[in-house]
Amino acid sequence: MVTLKVALVQQQAVPNDKEANLNLSIQYIKEAHRKGADLVLFPEMWSNGYAPPFDTAFDEPMD
């Protein structure tokens, strides 16, 4: 039987800061590796830390 250990990262990315998110990703991957993970999954848009153009951008999406 083959097993696969998956690590899930549920942390907020640094808004619009690819370099900071890359460094955080490396830290999380290293930690997951130490804990025996074979695969590490991050939230959607983690790598670029997408943030809406203004704080209320998603409050009224049809506006």
Phi, psi of 6 (to 5 degrees): -110, 135
**What pLDDT score was predicted for residue 61?**
67
DSSP 7-57: EE---PPPTT-HHHHHHHHHHHHHHHHHTT-SEEE--TTTTTT---SSTTT
**What pLDDT score was predicted for residue 16?**
85
Write out pLDDT tens, residues 11-62: 888 888 889 999 999 999 999 999 999 999 998 888 888 877 777 777 776 7
**What pLDDT score was predicted for residue 15?**
86
| DSSP bridge pairs for 40 | 7
pTM for the complete prediction? 0.76
